[in-house]
Chains A and B, each alone.
Chain A
Amino acid sequence: MKSKKLRLFLVSFAFVIGLSWNLSTETTEAFSEQVIQQGAVGDDVIELQARLQYIGFYNGKIDGVFGWRTYWAVRNFQYEFGLEVDGFVGETTKQALERSTEYDQQYVNQQINEGQDFTHYGGQDRDQEGQETQAPSPTAVNVPNGFSQNDIQLMAQAVHGEARGEPYEGKVAVAAVILNRIESSTFPDTISGVIYEPLAFTAVADGQINMQPDESSREAVMDAINGWDPSAGATYYFNPDTATSDWIWSRPQIKKIGKHIFCY
């Protein structure tokens, strides 16, 4: 009777231990298998930045985006530890990092989730409160050089207002026209200047620009900024069915995409 109870206790004890061990390996498991490189985002980058900061190679913000500062930190780390200096975080670099640093995932995630400014240097006092934290989301995003998320939002609104219902390439082309105008000497030099130029876009004149853009308009804007231009350098476009200006017809026409004719 007594031994049975003991056995039951032992079994359940072992079970609990096993469970918690399982849990702990799940939460502290280091890096996934991917090679991390410049431009990457996500949990692995958070861990990378935290570990690099732990031993003082990285003093920027742990934001989950592999930017230039992280890049230089990785290269310095690779140099100091006698690894190949290439800025790619592969198997050997990860192992060297794991050997030389600790990563308190719980602490880091908690700080990020609470939106606090914090550092993760080794040997520094931290409150160890054992509560589960959910995975943090990065606090920064990649943006193309020279553009802010807000610029992209504004352009997406303009594209959505102007080219809703057009094929995807038509949306990219409209976004490209906005960018081509910024480059052109005969138009204003800023995104807002081009978009809000009086009479330049009907969607601006009738307020449709204030609608929330859909996902595909946003993607179209990103594609245009990243170098795709289905309009082939156009600075004007018009809908031949509704165009009210005669002058617009006199421009050299490049091509028709969806309902719009694009021209120089």
Chain B
Amino acid sequence: MIRWISIAVLSIALIGTVVWGYQEHQDKNAVLVHAENSYQRAFHDLTYRIDLLHDKISTVMATNTPERLSPQMADIWKLTSEAHADVGQLPLSLLPFNKTQEFLTNIGEYSYRVAIRELEDEPLSEDELNYLAELYEQANEVRRDLRGVQHTVLNEGLRWMDVEVALATNEPGDNTIIDGFQTVETNAESYIEAGDQFGVTASTEDEKELQLDGQEITEDQAAQMIRDRFNFDESVNIQVSESLDGSQLQTYNISFENGDTRGFAEMSKKGGHVITFMMNRDLQDAEISLHDGMNRAAERLEELGYEDMEPMETTQYERVGVYSFVRTEDDVYYRPDRIQVKVALDNGEITALSARDYLVNQFSRDDVDFERNLSEEEALDLVNPALEVEETRMAVIKNDLDEEVLTYEFLGRANDSTYRVHINADDGFEESIVRLKQSEEIFQ
């Protein structure tokens, strides 16, 4: 009797397990198919858009009138940005695919610039037409390669999930998709340089090495400088390590521990400039005001030898005040030369400072003479009349082309918002308009 009961119970359990296992399997498959489908969509979108991009470039080459050219260029710009987003959805981040992405970015950048310029006065030059022809060829190559991969994927039913697994486990041996993308990338490597003359080569690598002024210092000197600066005695443990070979700026990375404060500092090997430091400890409730914190930060900057620094932005985040200072010279604000300072509002200690922008810009700037052709009134006339301008100053900023320009900076209000407008002091170009936002409601 007992035997029969146990047989019955066990068989029910077995059947139950089988059913459960089957359902789990189904669920897992559904999830996999779902993931695979979104990869497939991104991939097919990508090939389609590159194809379209290629078409569009050829259309541009055959277009004559500026009225048609502008919208076509804007179309190209939109396509490159969409293709860029498609790439971001594919599991390619462990695959060298950045040259191709740079290629896309360069086309986008270039077409954007042409789209927004006054083509009536400044039609496409001979050089630019040649550049376009080159882009056309290159886009064709990318298109052909990608369409090839797509054909294989469709024909042989290749799955992107396999690509993901192969890349994640580092066995990209004989995956057709990976091979295909590597071919695209290898080809792309050869055609980056052409855009140089139009200033659109957005290469992130190969940036020039940075040099700061001063004597080369040793590790021990670096440690000693940190001790002196923060008044540490010998009991404070300081560790120094060197930056690695690829670094644009050779630095010492210094970490130290003083009681319950842990700190980190980065110091240039040349000159021993402290590029950044940050100290981390548990903070108590804010005791001093944002204003007092600012005064302390300003004092400290002066002690450190940074002169003529003016606070541009002051913000309290719970227990810390964060201040952005910029260098001023003859009442001109040099916005690129900024120093960030963080002050703990429990005891007013300067807990972090970053002078990277300041140092890099100071040492890489050649002597520049900024032209000033416009008076303040003339510049003011160029600002949107709906804007109620409240404050005016002169400021040097980096514009969209990454060049430093002298501008009139206007702070103004319109429809309950505050805007910062920069008008080029030389030619009156409206370099930038930014809506300033500072707070956000707390979502409940």
Contacts and interface: CB of A to CB of B under 8 A. Distances in A.
Contact of B390 (A72, A142, A185, A227): A72
- Considering residues A188, A226, A229, which has the most beta carbons from chain B within 10 angstroms of its beta carbon? A226
Interface stretch (B17-25, B44-52, B436-444): B436-444
Given A185-B102, A228-B276, A68 B418 contact: yes
Interface string A122-151: 000000000000000011111111101110
Interface in B159-174: 164, 167-170
Interface residues of B, number: 79
| Interface of B: prevailing SS | mixed
- Considering residues B251, B318, B437, which has the most beta carbons from chain A within 10 angstroms of its beta carbon? B437
A68 B88 contact: no
Contacts of A255: 241, 243-244, 247, 251, 253
B29 interface: no
Interface stretch (B229-237, B286-294, B377-385): B286-294
Given A169-B278, A232-B266, A65 B439 contact: yes
Contacts of B259: none
Nearest to A202: B168
B88 A37 contact: no
A140 B292 CA distance: 22
Given A145-B436, A227-B357, A232-B251, A39 B313 contact: yes
Return the 9 tightest CB-CB contacts between A and B, nearest first. Answer: A252-B246, A34-B289, A188-B88, A185-B105, A198-B91, A169-B264, A68-B418, A35-B291, A39-B315
Interface of B: 39, 84-85, 88-98, 101-102, 105, 164, 167-170, 202, 204-205, 241, 243-249, 251, 253, 255, 262, 264, 266, 276, 278, 280, 288-292, 294, 313-318, 321-322, 324, 338, 340, 342, 352, 354, 356-357, 390, 413, 416-418, 434, 436-444
Given A142-B316, A143-B440, A232-B247, A37 B291 contact: yes
Given A148-B440, A244-B170, A167 B105 contact: no
Nearest to A144: B315
Interface string A49-66: 000000000001101010
A88 B292 CA distance: 12
Contacts of A186: 97-98, 101-102, 105, 204
Contacts of A71: 418
